Amino acid sequence: MRLLKILTITIGILAFTGCEDSLELNPITSETSATAYDEPAEIEAALIGVYNSFGGGGNREYFQWDLLNFQDTRSDNAYAGGDVPELFAVDFINIVPTNSRLSGHWGAFYSAINKANNVLERAPLIKDEEFKASRLDQVMGEAYFLRAYHYYHLVTMFSGVPLITSTTKSIRPEDIYVPRSTSVEVYAQILSDLEKAINLLPDTFPSNFETKSRATSGAANALAAKANLQKPTPDFQAALDHILALENSSANYELLSDYNKLFDGSNENNVESILEVQFDGIIHGSFRPSILSPPSRSIQSWRKFITPSHDIINLFLNENDIVRLTATVLFENVNWIDEYWGNQQGSSVPFVYKWKNAVGWDQSTTNNYLLRYGDIVLLKAEALNGLNKLVEATAQVNRIRARVNLPNLTVQQSNSKEALKLAILNERRLELAFEGERWNDLVRNGEAISTMNNLKERDLRTGEFVNYNMTPEKLFLPIPQTERDLNPSLIPGFL
Amino acid sequence: MLLLNPHFDQHSVEKNKLGINFTLLTNLNYLLMNLKQIVLKTKRSLIENCKEILTNSLRLNGSNKCFLLIGIVFLASQSVLAQTRTITGTVSDDKGVLPGVSVLVKGTTKGIVSDFDGVFKISNVNANDILIFTYLGYLSQEISIGNSNELNVILKEASRELDEVVVIGYGTQKTRNITSAVSVVGEEDLKLRPNTQVAALVYGKTPGVVATASSGQPGQGISLNIRGSSSLGDQQPLYVVDGVIISDTRSINPADVEKISILKDAASAAIYGAQGANGVVLITTKLGKKGTAASVNFNSYSGISSVVKTADVLNARQYQDLMADLGYNTIWSRFPYKTNWQDEIFQEGLTQNHQLSLSGGSDKTTYYISGTLYDEVGAVFSTKARRTSFKVNLDQEINDWLKVGTRVTYNNYSDVSVNDTSSGDKGGVIIGALVTPPVITKFNNDGTFTTNPFQVWENPFASAEGIERGYKTREFTGNAFAELKLLKDFTFKSSLSIQQRNEDYDEFVDPFRTDSGRSDNGRAFASRGTYQFVGFDNTITYKKKFNNHNIEALVGIITQDYRWENQSITAKDFTSGEIGTVGAGNLIRPDDVSTNISEQKNIAYISRLDYGFQDKYLFTVSLRRDGSSVFGPDNRFGLFPSVSAGWRLSKEKFLADVNWIRDLKLRSSWGVNGNDPINPYSYLGLVQQGANYPIGAQGGIYPLNIENNSLKWEETKQFNFGLDFSLLKGRISTSIDVYRKQTDDVLFSNNPLPATTGFGSATGNALGLKNEGFEFLINTINIDKKFKWSSNFNISINRNEVTKLTVPEIASGSIAGRGAATITRLNQPLSQFYGYVFAGVDADNGRAQYLTADNQLTYTPDAEDRRIIGDPNADFVYGFTNNFSYKGFELTVFLQGSQGNDMINATRFDTEAMNSPNNQSATVLNRWRTPGDITNVPGISQIGNIENSLISTRFVEDASYLRVKTVTLSYNLPSDLLKKVKIKGLTIYATGENLFTFTNYSGFDPEVNTFGANAVAQGIDYGTFPQTRKLILGVNLTL
C-alpha cells in the first residue's frame, strides 16, 4: 500500500509539470507563409494559384458568367433571362451598390491581385540559380500580366479603384483603408505592369497549350492595346504599337479562316487565341455552356440566362450576317415564359450558343477566350481610325468581314472618321457578341448613353418598351456598398 | 485518522437503529456519526451521557465499549414494545417553541398540530410507533416513541437550499457560502421535464440565461446565452459534464442529469478562466447513494408534435389572378391541382424516449447505470433524430486515503434535417411550402419532382425527399479520477477525461428525380470527421476548519488537447439511383476532396482560496494563468484573477432576533475571464493548397489569411453585486443580482476586411462590449397545506453596447436578394436592424415609398437612407413556474416570455414581394390594384424588382411573446398501494409543450433565429423551422 501511495504521488507531481513548449503547434494540413514560398516549385505553385482565379475560386462566376452579364446583358445585346433578381437589375441598368454580384467580383479581383503581389514579392527571394536563370523573369512577367489583367477588369467596371501593389501584411487601419486612385492612375499602373511583362515574357512557351494558357508577350501586348484605347484619354499610337508588336510575335497569331471553328468546341487553343481559360473538366469544368445553352443541348431544363435581344438578332439579320448568327445563337421552343420573345409557353427563344458541350452542371471542357486576335484586329482598326488612317483601318474591318462572307464596308461607312467609328463598333458587336466586350465598346466610343436610351425592347407582359433610363452616372458600376461600409476612405462616384 | 464522511445518510441510520449488523461498523467515524443521529432521536439525558462517553473514549482508543453501549440503548428501546399510552411533548427550534408543527404517527392518519406553545399530545400510541414531525422550513424528523411518555423535540431548520451542495469549478460549495453568481437547476426543476436537450431545461428557470433555438428541427442544438453577448460568433457557455468539457450539448442525455450549476459571474467562472467568459454550465449526472439497495428506474414517455400555426397563402384561383397581373400566361388546365403544400410538408411528429436506469451503493461503492433510447420524427416531412446511449457512473473508495471513480457515456446519435433557412427556389423547405403554387402536385408522371409553372423551381419535396441524407455521430465521453488524501487536510485529485466523437454526414441526390441531380448525373457527398479531446486535471485541495475559521485552498494544473480531423469527398456521375455511396460515382475532381486536420492545446495553472469566518464573512480569491496554442508566442499566456466576498448579515447579532429573516447575504465579486474562441493556428499566415490550374507541374497555393502575431486573449471583466435572502422560514427566498461586464479585445474570426486587402476577413481582437444587467429570482411557497402551491418567478434585464470597434461597422444577417439586415456599430447595441423607413404605398401607382435620410419620400432610396429600424435585443425576459400539488397530484405550469424584442420577418420578402411566379401569402390580396387604392400592401412588381420590398420597417415586427412553455400534470400512485406490489414509486404524467403563445408576431414562431447564436445577426426569421407543440404522456416507475 505504501508503495502504491508513493507511486501515485509521484505520478501526480509529474502531472504538475506542464510543458509550456507544447503550446507551439504547427498546422498539419497547410503550410505557413514563413516557409511556403522558399523553393522554386513553391513559387511556381503560388503562380498557379494566381491563374486559378480564372477558373476557380471567387472569379469563377465572373469569368464564366457575370462578365457577360455586365458587358452583354447590361448593354443592348441581351436580356438577363433566368430567375435572378439581381441580374434583372443588371439588365435594366439599375444596379444598386448593395447588389451582391458587385461585392463578390470586387473581392475576387483583389484576391487575385493579392496572389499576384505575393508572387512578385516572393519570387525574387529565391536563391536557386537555375530558377533565377531560366524562370524568374518569366514568373515575374506572368505575375505582372496577371495583376494588370485583373486591374483592367476592375477599372473598366468601376472606374478608379484602390491600387494595391503589395501584399497586405497587417490589419492596421492605415494598411487596409486604401483610398481610390483615379482611373488615369489605375491605367498607368496597368500599362506600367504590362511594359514590364512585355520585356520579361517570351513570345511562346515550349508547348502550344502553355502558350495559350500562360501570359506571353503577345497577351501583354494585346491587353496593353486594349488598355491604351479604353483609358479616359486613349493613346492610339501606343495601342497600335502594341498591336504591331503582337503581330510580330513568333506565336504567329492569325485569324482562323472559318469563324465557326472558333466556337465549335474542337479547335481550342487555336492560332487566333491569345489567352484562354483552360477547362479540363477535372481541375476546372465550365458551367457557361450549362447556363446558356438551350434545354435540348444541356441537362438543365430551367430558363437559361443571357437571352439574346431582339436588337442584336435584328442586327445579324439586317446585316445578313448568317455565318456569325448561326455560330452565335440557337433558337428553340421553350416551356417557360419569356417576357420578350414569347409570352406563352412553347415560344421560340434564342440562346447564346457560342459555348457548347454542356456536361453536367459544371463539367464542360469548353474553354473561354480571354484575349482573341479577332478582337485585336478590330482594335487595330480603331487605333488606325483614331490616328486618322481611315483606309488602313477599313482594311482591318474588311479582314474580319471577309471571313464571314460579308462585303467590304461601304464608302459611306468608311469615308469619315465618325462613320468608320460606328462601323467598327457595329462590327465588334457582331464579331464579339456575348464575349464580354460590348459595354466597354459602347463606353469607349461614347455611345453607351444614346444607345441604351434609344433601345426599343418591348416587354410583352405590359406591351410597353423598357425604359433603360441610361444616365452618365451609370457608365460605371457603383463601388459595392459592403466595401464602402468597410473602408471609410472610399468615396462613391467616378474617379 | 478521522474521516468526515459526507455521504452519510438516513438509510444507514435506519438499518442500525433496528439493531442489526453492528459488526459492520468498522469505521469509527461512521459509528460516531450514527450515534449522533441516534442521539437526536433518543432522550436528551441519555444523549449527553452517550456523547460524552463516546467522544472521550472512542475517539482516543477505539474501544469496543461503544458497541456495547449502543446495544444497550437499542435493547432498551426494544423492551418497551406493545404498550399503548399517551405521549406529550414540546416542539421547538433553537430560538424557541414552534406552534403549528404537524405531528403524525407514521403509517397512520393519526396526527395533531402543536399548539401555540409548541405543545402536542397524542394518545393511543405504543412504543414501536414512530412520530413524524414536519414543519415548513425545517427538517422533518422521525422519532420512535420508545418507552418515554414525554418527547421534547428540537427541529432543525431545513434551509435545504442553503445547505444544498453546489458544484462549482473543481469543487463544491454550500449555497450559504457562495459569494458569486451561481444559479442551480436541481432535481425539482429537472424531474418530469420530458426533454431531449439540456439547454431547454435551464431556460426560464433561472434569470440571466437565454436560450436560442435557431430552429425547431429535431436535431437542432439549443444555444444558451448567459448575461448577454460578451463574445461574437459562438455565444455558447462552456459545458462541463462531470468534469469533461463537452463540445456538442446534443450528446447530453437530460434524463441522466442530476443537477446543473450555472456560473454566471466572473468570480465563479474564473476558475475556468480561459473558456469561462460566456459563463459555465456545470452538469452533474446521477450517482447512486451509499448504502442503498439497488433501485431500478424506468422512465418512458412518448408524444406527438405539430407545427402550431400555418400561414394563409393564396389558393389556386388567387394565384392565377396574381400571375395574370404579373403578365404570366399559361394554359391553366395543365395545372389543375389544389395542393396545400403546408399540409403536405408539415406532419404529425412522434417523439419517444425510454430510459432504464439502475443506481445504488454499498458503503464503499456507489453506482449509476442507464440506457436510453430516444427517437423523434419531426413535424416537418423527412426530419428525424435518434439517440441511443448508455452511461455508467461509478465511485469506489479503495481505502481510507484513496477513492477512484469513473463517468462513462456512449452515444449513438443520428438525425435527418431539412434545409430550412433558404428560399424556395434554393430548396428551402419551409419557404418552399409557402411559395410553391397550389396548382401543381408532387410528382410528374415520369417520377420527377414538379416545378413552378413558369420557372424550374421544384416543389419542396425535391429537397426533403429527393436528397437522401443523414448525419450520424458516435461519441464516447469518459472520465476517470482518483482522489488521494495525502496528508491531513490535503486532497490530491487527478482526473483524466476523454471525448472522442466520430461524425458522418452523407448525402445522395439521384440522377433522375431532381434538377440538381440530373445536372450532375447524380451526386454524393460524404464527410467523415473525428473530434478528440483529452483533458488532464490535477488539483490539490487543502481544507481546514479551526475555531471560527474555514479555509479551503486549491491549486492545480489543467491540460487540454484537442484534435479535429475532417475528410470530405464529392462524387458525381452515377450510373443508377440505387447505390448512393461516393464510390459508385464516376467523377471525383481534385477540388471535391478535402482533408483538414488541426490541433489545439491549452494549459492552465489554477488556484483558489476560500476563507470564511464564522460562516459570516466569506472571501474567495482565485488566480489562473492560461496558455493557448491559438495565440502567437508573445501573447500565448493570460492571467485571470478574481475576488469575491460575502457577508451573511443574518448571522450578525443585530439580526439574530429577527425571526422572519432566515438568511440574508450580501455578496460582491469582480473578476476577469479569458476566451480563445478562434481557430487553431489563427495567428499564423496559412497557405492554402488546391488552387489548381491545368498548367505546370504542381497544384496552386495562395495565402489564406494575414499573419497576426498580435492576436491575444479576449478578456471579460465583470463586477457583480448580489443579495440573497430567505424570509418567513423559507417561504420566500429571493436572489437579486446586478452586474456589469466589460469585454475587451473580443475575438472575432470574421472581422470583415475591405476586400482590397485580398482577404474577406481576418481574425482579430475586434471590439469591446459592455453588458449590464439585473436579475431577480423569487421562490415562494404560497400554500403549504394538503394543497401545496409554490412559485418561481425570475426576470432578467440585459443591455449591451459596443464600446470599441476596430472596423467601421459590422454588417451581417444577410437575406437572400436583400443583403445585410443587421448592423453593429460603435456605442450601440449589437445587431441592430438596418434598413429603410417604409412610408406607405403611393395610392397613385401602388409603389412602396420610403423616407430618405432627410425625410423626403422616395421610391428608390439610396444606401445612405438606411437607418436603424429595430432592435432584436429584448427589454427583459422572464420565466414563471407554478407548482400545485394535492395528494398524489402535481401540476406544473411554466410560462416563459420575452418583451420588447423585434424580429425581421424575412420570410415575408418571399411571400409578399409579388415579383416572381412564387405563390404569395394571403396578405397580398390587399395589394394595391388601381389608382386611388388606399392600402399598405404595394402593388405587383416587375419580375425581380425589389424596390417594393426592401428591408424596411414594413418587415420589422414586435416579437415579444409570452409562451405557455410547459404544463405538466402528474400523479404519484399512493405508496401504500405500491408497497403491496413491491414498487417504490410510480408516477404517470402528461406534458404539453409550447401549448399557447401570446404574441403579435405574424411568423410561425417568435422564438427562432435563422442565424442561431451569431451575436451580430440576431432577430431574423427567414423560413426557419418553427418550434412545435408537443403533447407527451409518460410514466416513471421505480423498483
Instruction: Report the alpha-carbon distance of residue B196 to residue B213 in Å, rounded.
Output: 13
For the residues B762-789, what does the mean pLDDT come to?
A: 88
**Is the CB of B684 less than 8 angstroms away from the CB of A210?**
no
Using DSSP bridges, classify how beta strands B617-628 and B593-613 pair: parallel, antiparallel or unpaired.
antiparallel
Match 475587451 to its residue by C-alpha cell: B744
Q: What is the pLDDT of residue B863?
A: 81
What number of other Cβ atoms are within 10 A of residue B573's Cβ? 17
Q: What is the pLDDT of residue B83?
A: 55
Residues 6+ apart with CB under 8 A from B951: B815, B818, B819, B821, B833, B834, B835, B836, B869, B904, B909
Residue B349: all three cell numbers together = 411528429
| Positive or negative: CA dihedral A266, A271, A277, A279 | positive
**Is the CB of A18 less than 8 angstroms away from the CB of B700?**
no
Say which range, A220-234, A262-276, B163-177, B328-342, has the weakest mean pLDDT.
B163-177
Count of residues in chain B: 1039
When CB atoms are compared, the residue of B330, B515, B817 closest to A300 is: B515
pLDDT band at A127 (very low <50, low <70, confident <90, very high): very high
Q: Computed over its alpha carbons, how large is the radius of gyration of chain B?
A: 33
For the residues B303-316, what does the mean pLDDT come to?
A: 90
Q: For helices A390-403 and A417-431, what crossing angle results, to 10°?
A: 20
Match 494588370 to its residue by C-alpha cell: A148
Look up the pTM and report it. 0.80
For the residues A141-170, what does the mean pLDDT come to?
A: 95
Q: For helices B28-40 and B10-17, what crossing angle results, to 10°?
A: 80
CB B336 within 8 A of CB B319: no
**Is the CB of A33 less than 8 angstroms away from the CB of B536?**
no
CB B158 within 8 A of CB B139: yes
Does the pLDDT value for residue B82 go beyond 50? Answer: no
**Is the CB of B326 less than 8 angstroms away from the CB of A461?**
yes
Classify the phi-psi angles of A8: left when phi > 0, otherwise alpha if psi is within -120 to 50, otherwise beta: alpha
Instruction: Report the alpha-carbon distance of residue B720 to residue B182 in Å, rounded.
Output: 11
The identity of residue B596, as a single letter, is N
Instruction: Report the alpha-carbon distance of residue B794 to residue B779 in Å, rounded.
Output: 9
**Is the CB of A114 less than 8 angstroms away from the CB of B703?**
yes
Give the chain B residue nearest A287 (alpha carbons).
Answer: B519
DSSP calls for B499-551 = EEEEEEEEEEE-TTTSHHHHHTTSEEEEEEEEEEEEEEEEEEEEEEEETTEEE
Phi–psi pair at A381, nearest 5 degrees: -60, -45
**Is the CB of B603 less than 8 angstroms away from the CB of A117?**
no
What tens digit of pLDDT does each residue of A279-332 get? 988 888 899 999 999 999 988 888 899 999 999 999 999 999 999 999 999 999
Match 485552498 to its residue by C-alpha cell: B553
Residues 6+ apart with CB under 8 A from A69: A80, A87, A90, A101, A305, A306
Which residues are bridge partners to B665 per DSSP?
A: B648, B724
Does the pLDDT value for residue A393 go beyond 90? Answer: yes
Tell me B265's DSSP state: S
Does the pLDDT value for residue B44 go beyond 80? Answer: no
For the residues A9-33, what does the mean pLDDT come to?
A: 70
Instruction: Report the alpha-carbon distance of residue B579 to residue B468 in Å, rounded.
Output: 11
pLDDT band at A363 (very low <50, low <70, confident <90, very high): confident
Does the pLDDT value for residue B46 go beyond 80? Answer: no
The residue that leads in pLDDT, A457 or B224, is A457
Query: CA distances (Å), B110 to each of A310, B104, B106, B113, B662, in order?
Result: 101, 6, 8, 11, 31
List chain A residues with CB under 8 Å of B701.
31, 36, 42, 45-46, 48-49
Instruction: Report the alpha-carbon distance of residue B585 to residue B461 in Å, rounded.
Output: 24
Instruction: Report the alpha-carbon distance of residue B279 to residue A2 in Å, rounded.
Output: 42
A-B Cβ pairs (cutoff 8 Å, strict): 326
The residue of B330, B701, B747 whose CB has the most chain A CBs within 10 angstroms, and thus the best one to mutate to test that interface, is B701
- A118 close contact with B: CB closer than 8 A: yes
Does the pLDDT value for residue B905 go beyond 70? Answer: yes
The residue that leads in pLDDT, B215 or B720, is B720
Instruction: Report the alpha-carbon distance of residue B1003 to residue B969 in Å, rounded.
Output: 30
Q: For helices A136-158 and A40-55, what crossing angle results, to 10°?
A: 30
CB B646 within 8 A of CB B268: no
DSSP calls for A318-331 = HTT-HHHHHHHEEE
- A282 close contact with B: CB closer than 8 A: yes
**Mean of per-residue pLDDT scores for chain B:** 82
List chain B residues with CB under 8 Å of A279.
694
Instruction: Report the alpha-carbon distance of residue A125 to residue B168 in Å, rounded.
Output: 56
What tens digit of pLDDT does each residue of A189-216 get? 999 999 999 999 999 999 999 999 999 9
Residue B824: all three cell numbers together = 453593429
Using DSSP bridges, classify how beta strands B238-241 and B280-285 pair: parallel, antiparallel or unpaired.
parallel
When CB atoms are compared, the residue of B687, B751, B944 closest to A33 is: B687
Instruction: Report the alpha-carbon distance of residue B63 to residue B75 in Å, rounded.
Output: 20
Say which range, A269-278, A310-319, A352-361, B610-619, has the weakest mean pLDDT.
B610-619
Query: CA distances (Å), B559 to each of B181, B363, B693, in order?
Result: 26, 33, 43
Which residues are bridge partners to B527 per DSSP?
A: B505, B568
Q: What is the pLDDT of residue A429?
A: 97
pLDDT band at A122 (very low <50, low <70, confident <90, very high): very high
| Positive or negative: CA dihedral A48, A50, A53, A54 | negative
Q: Computed over its alpha carbons, how large is the radius of gyration of chain A?
A: 26
CB B280 within 8 A of CB B169: yes
Helix, strand or coil, per DSSP, at residue B750 = strand
Among residues B342, B439, B437, B506, which one has the least CA distance to residue B1023? Answer: B342
Count of residues in chain A: 495
When CB atoms are compared, the residue of A54, A171, A483 closest to B706 is: A171
The residue of A21, A92, A98, A204 whose CB has the most chain B CBs within 10 angstroms, and thus the best one to mutate to test that interface, is A98
pLDDT band at A239 (very low <50, low <70, confident <90, very high): very high
**Is the CB of B703 less than 8 angstroms away from the CB of A80?**
no
Give the chain B residue nearest A176 (alpha carbons).
Answer: B757
The residue of A171, A207, A301, A359 whose CB has the most chain B CBs within 10 angstroms, and thus the best one to mutate to test that interface, is A171
Among residues A187, A213, A242, A429, which one has the least CA distance to residue A318? Answer: A429
CB B214 within 8 A of CB B1008: yes
Residue A447: all three cell numbers together = 455611345
Residues 6+ apart with CB under 8 A from B527: B503, B504, B505, B506, B566, B567, B568, B569
What tens digit of pLDDT does each residue of B149-190 get? 787 887 776 555 555 666 666 767 776 667 777 777 776 666
What number of other Cβ atoms are within 10 A of residue B826's Cβ? 14
The residue of A302, A339, A490 whose CB has the most chain B CBs within 10 angstroms, and thus the best one to mutate to test that interface, is A302
Instruction: Report the alpha-carbon distance of residue B404 to residue B364 in Å, rounded.
Output: 11
Give the chain A residue nearest B592 (alpha carbons).
Answer: A283
Ranges A255-259, B125-129, B660-664, B1033-1037, most confident: A255-259
Instruction: Report the alpha-carbon distance of residue B588 to residue A363 in Å, rounded.
Output: 11
**Is the CB of A176 less than 8 angstroms away from the CB of B756?**
yes
- A89 close contact with B: CB closer than 8 A: yes
Instruction: Report the alpha-carbon distance of residue B844 to residue B841 in Å, rounded.
Output: 9
Distance of CA B382 to the CA centre of its chain: 26
* pLDDT > 90 in chain B, percent: 25
DSSP calls for A221-233 = HHHHHHHHHHSSS
Classify the phi-psi angles of A388: left when phi > 0, otherwise alpha if psi is within -120 to 50, otherwise beta: left
Match 444577417 to its residue by C-alpha cell: B813
Q: How far is A248 from chain B (nearest CA, A)?
A: 25
List chain B residues with CB under 8 Å of A186.
none
When CB atoms are compared, the residue of B595, B599, B944 closest to A85 is: B944
Instruction: Report the alpha-carbon distance of residue A437 to residue A420 in Å, rounded.
Output: 18
The residue that leads in pLDDT, B1 or B566, is B566
Report ipTM for this prediction.
0.89
Q: What is the pLDDT of residue A209?
A: 94
- H or E, element range at B482: strand B467-485
Alpha helices in B929-1001 (DSSP H): 975-980
Q: Where are the beta strands (DSSP E) in A67-111?
A: 78-81
- A176 close contact with B: CB closer than 8 A: yes
pLDDT band at B93 (very low <50, low <70, confident <90, very high): confident
Among residues B174, B196, B194, which one has the least CA distance to residue B184? Answer: B174
List chain B residues with CB under 8 Å of A45.
689, 696, 698-701
Among residues B518, B513, B560, which one has the least CA distance to residue B536? Answer: B560
Instruction: Report the alpha-carbon distance of residue B473 to residue A348 in Å, rounded.
Output: 52
Instruction: Report the alpha-carbon distance of residue B552 to residue A489 in Å, rounded.
Output: 57
Residue B383, judged by CB atoms within 10 A of its CB (0-12, 13-18, 19+), counts as: buried
Q: How far is B932 from chain A (nearest CA, A)?
A: 20
Does the pLDDT value for residue B45 go beyond 60? Answer: no
Give the chain B residue nearest A87 (alpha carbons).
Answer: B944
- A466 close contact with B: CB closer than 8 A: no
**Is the CB of A33 less than 8 angstroms away from the CB of B703?**
yes
Does the pLDDT value for residue B880 go beyond 50? Answer: yes
Residue A420: all three cell numbers together = 468608320
For the residues B45-73, what does the mean pLDDT come to?
A: 40
- A124 close contact with B: CB closer than 8 A: no
